[in-house]
């Protein structure tokens, strides 16, 4: 398999989500999953089912080697790998992306080596401390799912899901996972009462303001059985009804067992939706200032330096990263007789005043190894404050918005990746980037 093929599949899948909702076909290679446990445990049967799901309309196939149903027995890393590796190896020629349904970083890394391009983590990067790094270092996309060890009927579940997502997005940003590769899953059936499951589905649009596509897995689940009074093999009508409601409320991906039937429902939904008025832009609700940061460097291991900077920023009191772009290779700016740079942008929130934030960023640069050089000269890391809410400021040390923003493709291109509709100084970022098309052609993603 070509080393680039998983990344091509990854990017096509993510691009398709921006055009229309997609289906994720479920392939459980386990003996004890709640719905189809044992049915595809044999690798040959599993591979045949994967090809069939793609033919039926699945945009991606989700391979899982550990049941996550209530009361399931955990399996070891080695046993999970024993189950999924033969299937992943046999699916090397599948003309569709593959995701690995795992909460173990070691399994995610091995699956990525074998061609998986999405990690579907039921603990949202918050259980295995190595998972965020595994996602970042393999270039995988990731499904961040909300989960709890036990249901608590006394909590505000929507608030709990939202705060969980914000923590996961912070972990992803700190590890350098590009925001454009993240999907959110409210985790229906995981650590929730039946009523809380219903609330998460009906209020799915609550999470739109976070800016990432939303995936839901409702297929054949027990909450449908409770509503309808039927066993698992008679829950397809309920699944189709619930999936349609999820689509109306903003879902971008449906994780399903019955691909053909859901494909038909999705086609009807898409046809009717064409007559709908556009939804209003999601609001961002927070009490802190929203900031835009630009990072770059051209000394030593350039990519590693930026990832270290992401992690350092995320660990700073008063600074919370919410999204980071991909890393881009860019030509030098100002002083051209030096090595090429790696650049990226980050979005965040802060409780610090602009000058205090600048002071902390400059201190971080020194902590990360930057030494004084001539202006625009080689540097390990450079962290610039580009914008701070809608503040216009000009002091001896700081001008906001950054006065060179709209002249710098190496800032605008990564920023347009994560915030194309953001308006800075009265100008939409995506439009500003398009105006620098000639310079933007030299700003190339590293992966």
Domain residue extents for the chain: 5-273, 289-445
Fold for the domain defined by 5-273: TIM Barrel (3.20.20)
Give the three-class secondary structure for 226.
helix
Look at residue 284 and tell me whether its pLDDT is greater than 50. no
DSSP state, residue 17: H
pLDDT (tens digit per residue) in 182-205: 999 999 999 999 999 999 999 999
Beta strands (DSSP E) in 93-240 are 98-101, 118-121, 141-145, 182-185, 215-216
Q: At how many degrees (to 10) do helices 302-314 and 354-367 cross?
A: 130
pLDDT one-digit tens code per residue, 52-100: 999 999 999 999 999 887 666 789 999 999 999 999 999 999 999 999 9
User: What pLDDT does 36 receive?
Assistant: 52
H or E element in which residue 344 lies:
strand 341-350
Residue 363 scores a pLDDT above 90 = yes
Q: Distance (Å, rounded) from C-alpha 383 to C-alpha 427?
A: 22
What order do you get walking across the sheet with 60-64 strand by strand?
182-185, 141-145, 118-121, 98-101, 60-64, 22-28, 253-256, 215-216
d(CA 336, CA 447): 24
Q: What is the per-residue pLDDT for 257?
A: 96
pLDDT at 90: 96
Q: Flag whether pLDDT at 134 surpasses 60.
A: yes
Mean pLDDT within 404-417:
97
Query: Stretch 302-326: mean pLDDT, rounded?
Result: 96
Whether the pTM exceeds 0.85: the reply is yes
On average, the pLDDT of the chain sits at: 93
**Residue 318: HSE in the Cβ half-sphere, 13 Å Cα cutoff:** 10
pLDDT at 424 over 80: yes
Task: Quickly state the pLDDT bin for 447 (edges 50, 70, 90).
Answer: confident
Report the range of poorest mean pLDDT among 144-148, 277-281, 307-311: 277-281
The residues annotated as belonging to the active site are 221, 255
Spatial neighbors of 337 by CB under 8 A, at least 6 apart, are none
Percent of the chain with pLDDT strictly greater than 90: 87
**At 43, is the pLDDT very low, low, confident or very high (cuts 50, 70, 90)?**
confident
Report, as an integer, the average pLDDT of 34-56: 80
- Strand pairing of 399-400 and 382-388? unpaired
Residue 244, preceding peptide bond in cis (omega within 30° of 0)? no
Give the model confidence (pLDDT) of 149-172 as tens digits: 999 999 999 999 999 999 999 999
Buried-state track 296-320, b at ≥16 Cβ within 10 A, e below 16? bbbbeebbebbbbbbbbbbebeebb
Q: Does domain 289-445 have CATH number 3.30.70.560?
A: yes
* Residue 41, pLDDT score: 59
């Amino acid at each position: 398999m070509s080393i680039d093929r998983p990344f091509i599949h990854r990017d096509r899948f993510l691009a398709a989500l921006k055009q229309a909702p997609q289906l994720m076909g479920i392939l459980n290679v386990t003996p004890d999953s709640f719905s189809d446990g044992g049915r595809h445990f044999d690798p040959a049967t599993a591979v045949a089912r994967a090809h069939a799901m793609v033919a039926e309309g699945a945009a991606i196939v989700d391979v899982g080697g550990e049941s996550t149903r209530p009361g399931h027995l955990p399996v070891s890393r080695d046993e999970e790998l024993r189950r999924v590796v033969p299937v992943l190896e046999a699916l090397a020629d599948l003309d569709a992306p593959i995701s690995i349904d795992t909460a173990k970083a070691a399994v995610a890394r091995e699956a990525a080596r074998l061609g998986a391009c999405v990690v579907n983590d039921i603990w949202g990067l918050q259980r295995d401390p190595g998972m965020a790094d595994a996602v970042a270092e393999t270039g995988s996309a990731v499904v961040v799912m909300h989960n709890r060890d036990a249901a608590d009927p006394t909590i505000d579940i929507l608030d709990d899901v939202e705060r969980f997502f914000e923590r996961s997005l912070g972990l992803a940003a700190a590890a350098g996972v590009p925001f454009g590769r993240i999907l959110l899953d409210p985790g229906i059936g995981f650590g929730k009462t039946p009523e809380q499951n219903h609330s998460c589905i009906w209020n799915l649009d609550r999470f739109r303001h976070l800016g990432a596509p939303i995936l839901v897995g409702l297929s054949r689940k027990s909450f449908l059985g409770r509503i309808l009074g039927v066993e698992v093999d008679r829950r397809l009508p309920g699944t189709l009804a619930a999936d349609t409601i999820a689509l109306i409320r903003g879902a971008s991906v449906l994780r399903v067992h019955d691909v053909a039937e859901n494909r038909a429902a999705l086609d009807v939904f898409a046809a009717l939706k064409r007559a709908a008025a556009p939804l209003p832009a999601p609001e961002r609700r927070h009490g802190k200032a929203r900031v835009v940061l630009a990072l770059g460097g051209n000394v030593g291991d350039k990519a590693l330096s930026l990832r270290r900077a992401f992690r350092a920023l995320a660990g700073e009191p008063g600074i919370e990263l919410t999204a980071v772009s991909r890393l881009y290779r860019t030509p030098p700016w100002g002083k051209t007789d030096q090595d090429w740079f790696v650049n990226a942008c980050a979005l965040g929130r802060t409780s610090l005043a602009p000058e205090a934030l600048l002071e902390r960023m400059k201190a971080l640069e020194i902590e990360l190894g930057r030494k004084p050089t001539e202006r625009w000269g080689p540097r390990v890391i450079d962290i610039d404050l580009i914008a701070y809410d809608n503040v216009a400021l000009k002091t001896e040390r700081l001008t906001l918005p950054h006065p060179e923003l709209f002249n710098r493709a190496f800032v605008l291109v990564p920023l347009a990746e994560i915030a194309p509709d953001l308006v800075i100084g009265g100008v939409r970022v995506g439009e500003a980037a398009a105006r620098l098309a000639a310079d933007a052609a030299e700003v190339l993603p590293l992966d």
